[in-house]
Structure 1
Amino acid sequence: MAIQKSAKKRERILQAAIQTFSVNGYSNTTIKGVAEKAGVSFGTVFTYFENKENLFKASVLEPLEEVKAVMLTVPEPSDDPTKQIQEVIAKQFRFFAQQTTYARMLQYVIGQPERFQELFIELDQFSIQLREALRPLIVKGQEQGVLMEIEPNDISDSYLAFINGARLTFTDSADNEKAWDMFMRQAYLLFGPKLI
């Protein structure tokens, strides 16, 4: 019971940190501000995180594991890779539509690679993993002649940029299904489907 309570408190601090860092950036975020947002004492934050730098790293890297679990789970190609690609896009967009705050965190790090070099490398590794996850479906579609011959890495990179950009620029509710359906259709076009 005490361990469960402790884990919940840590998670509350982490969520408060993600919200605070995403709005204020690294320099303008204070441990005091995070503690107040989390509803804990200043000293309690240090029970779970050694310092502000470690709290920031956890705020970027821990949610990234959930992002990877969704974004990198791509099925083995079947006889209908274009249908599979559309299903993957739908799953990933529905997930990313919920990630408004965390998407700002990612953009903050990506926009300052020299400042957050270690974290930037982690995010860059994720983009490489996404390339590898999507490649078999893209290649299968190209082999079947239903997708245009476009470099698979270019497709994956464009897709990741698009999904991230859509989340950052489209600030309406994640529940606006009509708008997100439109983005999903546009994302599919990045894969180069041939109009038959």
Structure 2
Amino acid sequence: MNTKSQKRRLQIIEDAIQVLVEEGYANASIGNIAKKGGISKGVVTYHFRNKMQLMKAVVEYCYGLAAPYMEKFMDGSDSAPATLRAYIESNLRFMYEHRAYVTAIIEVVSNLRTETGELFYQNEDESIYEPLVEIFKWGQETEGSFRQFSPHIMARTVRSVIDSLGTKIANQDISDKEDMISEIVDTFDYATRKITK
């Protein structure tokens, strides 16, 4: 794919995100997305065969932007507890700084359906837990900085808390961002730390 084609593809995804944010999933038709970008429907369908393909690309794009953002926060962390704190904080800060992307993901994940009418994203992608599982195993098996618990269950718990805040953050329903981030980071710090007598 050449650079011009890549730019057009990314612009269509960004236009789709704007339509999802401003008008919701029901109105995020190929026609409305094309109108938002000032292009024809044919240009959109040249890059994305149908709405499902475009909506999947929106989700992949938004998640893809979060990864490098979080890595910058986590790069300087020299221990498992510090890395866990950086993971949680960077994830929440990304959501605050990119509310449109959070809203777009929520709209797609809550509405995109298969041909049989089932939610497309109803089955969890287990790979989302792997970074946390690795952090927990590092803290338990290598450093001894974390107490004994199931890394998989704790990873699900952390993700569940972060993901549950998506709608509130997107809707600006949380008044004190810094207090909320600090509270959640501290909660999992206490929940995972090894208690020494």
Task: Tell me which amino acid in the other structure corresponds to 2:51.
Answer: K
Percent identity over the alignment?
22
- C-alpha separation in 1, matches of 2:118 and 2:20: 15
Distance 1:185 1:148, change over 3 A: farther
CA deviations on 1:25-78 (whole Å, 9 max, x unpaired) are 444322221112122233322232222222222222233333345568967x95
- Equivalent position SS for 2:27: coil
1:78-157 correspondence runs (5 A):
80-111=79-110, 115-117=118-120, 119-121=121-123, 124-125=124-125, 128-142=126-140, 146-157=145-156
Do the aligned residues in 1 keep the contact of 2:89 with 2:185 (CA within 8 Å)?
no
Show the counterpart of 1:172: 172
Do the aligned residues in 1 keep the contact of 2:34 with 2:44 (CA within 8 Å)?
yes
1:15-54 correspondence runs (5 A):
15-54=14-53
> Number of residues paired by the alignment?
185
Deviation at 1:159, TM superposition (A): 1.4
Distance 1:165 1:184, change over 3 A: farther
**Does 2:66 match 1:67?**
yes
Structure 1's unaligned 5+ residue stretches are none
Deviation at 1:24, TM superposition (A): 4.2
TM-score, structure 2 as length reference: 0.71
- C-alpha separation in 2, matches of 1:63 and 1:182: 23
Show the counterpart of 1:186: 184
TM-score, structure 1 as length reference: 0.71
- C-alpha separation in 2, matches of 1:152 and 1:88: 15
Structure 1 stretches (4+) deviating beyond 6 angstroms? 72-75
